[in-house]
Amino acid sequence: MSFSKCFQRSPHHTPLNNAGLSHMTTHAHDALVEISKAATFQAFSNLESLITQYQTDRTTFEKLVGCDENCLAFTQTCAVSISQAALGLELKAGDEILNFAGEYPSNTYPWIEAARRSGASYKQVEAEEGFRFTEEAIINKIDSKTKVVAVSWVQFQNGWLIDLKKISEAAHNVGALLVVDVIQGLGIIPFNMKELGVDVVCGGTHKWLCGPLGLGFLAVSKDLIQQLKPLCVGSNTFTDYEELATDLKRKPYTDYRRFEPGSPFFIMARTAAASIEQILKAGVENINHETRVLRNLITTTAETRGFKTLSQQEGKFLSPTVTVLPNNLEKSIQQLREKNILFAHRLGGIRLSPHVYNNKDDIDRAMNCLC
């Protein structure tokens, strides 16, 4: 399929930073317009059809994540999903939480708070030389006290991708859980929650999924979902839309509904699902292949010009994110901004994250700004 027909780009900027809002897919845009009209003019008079679409959109998310049916809940943000996982688990004094040092703050603070509230021990695993995040580094710290291993699948500062299968096997061998923030990789690198042995997946839709800001999701394994205590409760935690009378004997639902206490995210879910539909149609492996070509262009150009990079060089699948260390950082930043190229300043360098709407000319323009 033609990526350019599905994945639009800002006419005013060259987007090479996946944290921006300037690149929802055209299908996401069209879906947003359509459902906004429905919400404006029909409101809740057509609630049944909105709920049906909502469930269809949930199924689309489940296909991308590779989780069990009815085990994915929508949340406000990825940070909310991580907080639900961290604060909803039953931890106690003597338990240990493992986390990489240098994680994105939203995948650090909730675990520190979980340790504070429960009396568990929070431990950080330092990155290796060159800011390398390896599965071996965290596996070596897993022992009988470990109850949770909380990591990002792809590190936000330099795109480092870890082998979740190896970590899940090591964690499960001691009865620990693996909780993963996938926001920096889902949609652009093949992923399957069940095959990788991940217990909880947390994510959001505004990065590689080319969806809107303000929507997160939480996928929990079928074995764990009833053990994870909801942080927020409401009518929908206990009853469906047809049974709103309070019944003190009711218990929370045993599926995703236990984590969706209030009004559904109709508009955001439809918008994001429309984009994910195109990602699934294009094929995540195909997307990864296309972006890997652009990624290799960044790394080879950087090497040719004598710039160091802080990203992986080998692997079956690689994150497209590359952090380049130019010789003159301030001047490089100035020139990138003058050319309206979107980037991120990370680890004393320039983080570039090409998607399928980018091309060789974009990479050349960006690299020519580095000095």
H or E, element range at 88: helix 78-88
C-beta separation of 179 from 149 below 8 A:
yes
Q: What is the pLDDT of residue 318?
A: 86
- pLDDT tens, position by position, for the chain (371 residues)? 445 545 555 555 567 666 544 478 889 999 999 988 887 776 667 788 888 999 999 999 999 999 999 999 999 999 999 999 999 999 999 999 999 999 999 999 999 999 999 999 999 999 888 888 889 999 999 999 999 999 999 999 999 999 999 999 999 999 999 999 999 999 999 999 999 999 999 999 999 999 999 999 999 999 999 999 999 999 888 876 566 678 888 888 899 999 999 889 999 999 999 999 999 999 999 999 999 999 999 999 999 999 999 988 777 788 999 999 999 999 999 999 999 999 999 999 999 999 999 999 999 999 999 99
Q: Which of 169, 166, 165, 203 lies closest to 183, judged by CA?
A: 203
Closest CA relative to residue 271, chosen from 3, 46, 60, 41: 60
**Domains of the chain listed by start with CATH number:** 29-281 (3.40.640.10), 284-367 (3.90.1150.10)
CA-based R_g, the chain, Å: 21
User: Which tens digits make up the pLDDT trace of 317-331?
Assistant: 889 999 999 999 999
Are 120 and 93 within 8 A, CB to CB?
A: yes
Q: At what angle do helices 266-282 and 47-65 cross, to 10 degrees?
A: 40
Whole-number pLDDT of residue 22: 44
What pLDDT does 343 receive? 93
CA–CA gap between residue 100 and residue 138 (Å, rounded):
8
3-class state of residue 23 by DSSP? coil
Give the model confidence (pLDDT) of 191-225 as tens digits. 999 999 999 999 999 999 999 999 999 999 999 99
User: pLDDT by residue (tens digit) across 44-82?
Assistant: 677 888 889 999 999 999 999 999 999 999 999 999 999
How many CA atoms, within 13 angstroms, populate the side-chain half-sphere of residue 179?
30
- The confidence score (pLDDT) of residue 287 equals 95
C-alpha span between 178 and 189 (Å, rounded):
19
Cα separation of 46 and 295, whole Å?
A: 46
Predicted TM-score (pTM) of this structure: 0.93
CA distance 224 to 42: 38
Contact yes or no for 323/156 (Cβ under 8 A) = no
Give the end-to-end CA distance of the chain in Å, rounded to a whole number.
37
